[in-house]
Amino acid sequence: MSSTKTNSTEKGAGQREPQSPRSGRRSRPQVPLPTHDYAALVAVFNSLLAIALLVRKCSREPLPKRVEPQDLVLFALATQKLSRVITKDKVTAALRAPFTEVEGKGGAGELEERPRGHGLRRAIGDLITCPFCFGTWIASGFIYGHIFTPRLARAVASIFAVAGLSDFLQQAYVKAQEMNDQI
């Protein structure tokens, strides 16, 4: 007899339903992770990096010595906003639709989605529903932009940084209104 503890709830006469180990809630049946397809996405990411470095080296211009702190802050703010726009916004749901299924409403103007399908379709769905995962790709894009066309990269990043800060201010305004209504 095994001494390992099962993580399930009583369903009926001898039947058990799996639970999520962390939350105690029912979990969906586990679908095998598409690890080979994840590896393909990692290869694409690394290939883009190698190509960018090779192109820069062939141009005979050196890489910038460093990214200035104000650019890092700008790119970080822009990455946060753009990753949420791509992975969560209702407006960009059409771009995610081939790879995701809508589960319900998320935060303000956002949707909660889950990946659909198997293999590469599922791997892409996992990537484009995770703002943390996709944020690395976006951050790389801003840094590549900074290497090749710094003024353009800053201009594009500024748009998303300002929009992200505006979102924060909108949320703060709503909270202040709610607090004011309670007085």
HSE-up (13 A, CA, CB side) for residue 84: 17
Question: What CA–CA distances, in Å, run from 107 to 36, 111, 112?
Answer: 32, 7, 8
Domain spans in the chain, listed from the N-terminal domain onward: 33-60+67-171
- Hey, which residues does 17 pair with through a beta bridge? 9
H or E segment to which residue 164 belongs: helix 150-182
Asked if residue 2 has pLDDT above 70, the reply is no
pLDDT band at 61 (very low <50, low <70, confident <90, very high): confident
User: Which residue carries 């694409």 as its tokens?
Assistant: 44
Q: ∠ CA 74-128-120 to the nearest 5 degrees?
A: 140
Tokens (6 digits) for 166: 């505006």
pLDDT band at 8 (very low <50, low <70, confident <90, very high): very low
Tokens (6 digits) for 91: 């407006």
Q: What is the pTM of this model?
A: 0.77
HSE-up (13 A, CA, CB side) for residue 182: 6
Q: What are the φ/ψ torsions at residue 174 (nearest 5 degrees)?
A: -60, -45
pLDDT digits (tens, 9 = 90+) for 30-40: 778 899 999 99
pLDDT digits (tens, 9 = 90+) for 161-175: 999 999 999 999 999
